[in-house]
Structure 1
Amino acid sequence: MKLSILDQAPISSNQSPREALQESLKLAQAGENLGYTRYWIAEHHDLPGLACSAPEVMLGYIGSNTKKIRIGSGAVLLPHYKPYKVAEVYNMLATLFPNRIDVGIGRAPGGSAEATNALSDNFLQQVWNMPNSVQDLLYFLDNDIPTEHHHARVSASPIPLIPPIPWLLGTSKKSAILAAEKGLAYAFGQFMSDQDGGAIIKQYKDHFKPRKHNESPQVIVTVTAICAETSEKADEIALSSLVWGLQRKRGEETHGVPDIQDAKDYLRNEKDGLLDDMKKGMIIGNPQEVKKAFLTLQDQYNADEIMIVTITHSPLDKIQSYRLIAEEILK
């Protein structure tokens, strides 16, 4: 089983944004040393508690301070941008860091309606035009633009020796079908979806059309997981993430991911069943429990790779979670 990392660059209550981004680099370096296949960083806009609005900037920083782990966006929110510019950015990264760059593509706004309007015009129209934008991006990444195309004389320079690998990210049948039709690898965001992921991935594989010779469908399933030496400690560490998610869901003002004691204080008057409902979409436990859950997911989704999102208050707890999982599964 391959394992990878999806980093949302969360800011803990005792951190500045700069410190949170420095911890993202440390996480990528730890992932590389532990044998993780890839490290992706997410794109968010004007969302309190999340530090990364420009993955391409962080990827230059992280690429310069790592050696072999694949790095990429999780995801470039394509409706905000022209495909040509995205291709230029990721071709340049692939030129600097050969055979290491992934371009994860998504269609979500990544922030509030106000932030979306500040970023781009006609966002909903661009979402509707997503299939055409994806195709244009592929033309530029492949450096193979049809002569009849209106950008036929344009190249997304610099042209790397090994192009970035495009992935489509999604949580629905619509994204799965688009990935299949375009011959793209597909990353299913199970941690953000309440839909039948197994059926969605089956539809992707059943409809897959190779973009190049000898290509086959590839699937990543992305899950939220927190691992510690004992189940009890994992449950305690997870309280920070659970409370932070609950606060954001309720629209309450937050000061980043709370520490464990503040999370316990917040939950003092909550109903017991509330956390149980929130935990259903997460994997929390000791290394053996997490491995068992991952193997079940791999079988359920017929996945090639599990990508892990882990949010904790303490950066040390986060890296320890990834370390314990790697030592249990990748040993």
Structure 2
Amino acid sequence: MKKIKLSILDQSQIRRNGTAKQALNDSGELVQLAEKLGYTRYWVSEHHNFKMLAGTAPEVLIPYLASKTTKIKVGSGGIMLPNHSAFKVAEIFGLLETLYPNRIDLGVGRAPGGDRMSSYLLNPSNAFSEKEYYQQLTDLKGFLRHEETPETVHEKVKSYPKPDVIPNLWILSSSGGSARFAAHFGIGLSFAQFINPDGGAETAAFYRENFKPSPELKEPKVNVGIFAFCSENEQKVKDWITEFDYRLLHIESGASGELPSLEEIKAMKYNLNQKARIAYNKGRYIAGNPEKLKASIEKIATDYQTDEVMVATICDDFDDRKKSYELLAKLFLES
């Protein structure tokens, strides 16, 4: 197996009883730690109408993070393309790549990044159709490349500034369907196991089998995202699992209130449907001591036949969150 690279997905978590400003300050501190520890890339996500996360605009957060670092790749994981104009996304990321050469990743997805009403307000013409998403991807690459395709908008309209090299392009997938687009356009594939624990390895295999080289990417490239928590303290691991099992149920139920305390969560009694969902969601995260996490990450890398695993750690104790990333770095990133 190749040496495993680690990256970070930061969902701009607002801590319990915390603020959005604190969450964004946490991101600024965490990206600097990630660079120091040797993480490959640092992505931020796009969410709307969801008070527990502060990341509504990756295009704003990315330059803030890039300005605090010097070499780690920063980018979107992802821009929810149907919420936006492909032309405007090309302008924004062309500008980011010009400001921070060879450091910008443009990961795009087709999920709403929230509820359908929010997505409609962002883009009233959004039809949530595969045909429109395909056209947006076609236009996005066309604008970034400054294509001159006859009898299309690209004949007369160009995206400026034009960077020397276009940003690294990725397509996000959680259901598997978007792997077809990634393979067709010759774009990297990022599978979100933290959203869907099933079918990821098969999706990656399909993508590789159908991959068509592009000017930007000659061979298929895959990474996989997973929620994770690592600690040498057994009780902290148990408490994190207890809270995170509930946190996922809380989100899936559409609850908008504050999370209960850990003590309240421990006292909860779950019905059969909730227990079944908790069991299913355990495939979306890995948690344990360094030895267990090493084995888990190596298995994920083997299953997906990739050398890059992207970790998202949600934890109310910021010191524990940083420590988790430090322990993972010791496992894989130190020579």
Bin the TM-score by the shorter chain.
over 0.9
| 2: CA distance, partners of 1:67 / 1:248 | 35
Which of 319, 326, 330 aligns to 1:327? It is 330
Q: What does residue range 280-291 of structure 1 map to in structure 2 within 5 Å? A: 280-291=283-294
Q: 1:14 to 1:303 in 2, by over 3 A?
A: same
Unmatched tracts of structure 2, length 5 or more: none
Which of 304, 314, 317 aligns to 2:307? It is 304
Q: 1:213 to 1:36 in 2, by over 3 A?
A: closer
Deviation by residue 1:101-156 (Cα, 9 ceiling, x = unmatched): 00001000011222122111132255531111101101111223323422223221
Q: Percent identity?
A: 35
| 2: CA distance, partners of 1:12 / 1:142 | 40
Q: 1:214 to 1:279 in 2, by over 3 A?
A: closer
Which of 43, 47, 50 aligns to 1:47? It is 50
Q: 1:310 to 1:88 in 2, by over 3 A?
A: same
| 2: CA distance, partners of 1:68 / 1:240 | 35
Shift of 1:159: 1.1
Q: 2:266: which partner in 1?
A: 267
| 2: CA distance, partners of 1:306 / 1:235 | 23
Deviation by residue 1:204-233 (Cα, 9 ceiling, x = unmatched): 000000012771000001111100113442
Q: What does residue range 118-157 of structure 1 map to in structure 2 within 5 Å? A: 118-125=121-128, 127-157=130-160
CA RMSD of aligned residues (A): 1.9
On the 8 A contact 2:143/2:154 being kept in 1, the answer is no
Deviation by residue 1:178-225 (Cα, 9 ceiling, x = unmatched): 100000010011111143111111100000000127710000011111
Specify the SS of the correspondent of 2:118: helix
Which of 7, 13, 20 aligns to 1:4? It is 7
Structure 1 position 180 matched with structure 2 position 179: no
| 1: CA distance, partners of 2:216 / 2:25 | 40
Q: What does residue range 249-268 of structure 1 map to in structure 2 within 5 Å? A: 249-255=252-258, 262-268=261-267
Structure 1 position 234 matched with structure 2 position 233: no
| 2: CA distance, partners of 1:253 / 1:92 | 36
Q: TM-score with structure 1 length normalisation?
A: 0.93
Q: 1:131 to 1:266 in 2, by over 3 A?
A: same
Specify the SS of the correspondent of 2:223: strand
On the 8 A contact 2:197/2:283 being kept in 1, the answer is no
Structure 1 position 211 matched with structure 2 position 214: yes
| 1: CA distance, partners of 2:212 / 2:173 | 18
| 2: CA distance, partners of 1:91 / 1:251 | 36
Q: What does residue range 52-201 of structure 1 map to in structure 2 within 5 Å? A: 52-125=55-128, 127-201=130-204
Q: 1:214 to 1:314 in 2, by over 3 A?
A: closer
Structure 1 position 19 matched with structure 2 position 22: yes
Q: Residue type matched to 2:7 in 1?
A: S
Shift of 1:25: 1.2
Q: 1:308 to 1:147 in 2, by over 3 A?
A: same
Segments of 4+ in structure 1 off by > 6 A? none
Unmatched tracts of structure 1, length 5 or more: none
Q: 1:220 to 1:316 in 2, by over 3 A?
A: same
Deviates more, 1:274-283 or 1:15-24: 274-283
| 1: CA distance, partners of 2:63 / 2:159 | 18
On the 8 A contact 1:243/1:263 being kept in 2, the answer is no
Q: TM-score with structure 2 length normalisation?
A: 0.92
Q: Residue type matched to 2:79 in 1?
A: V
How many residues get paired?
327
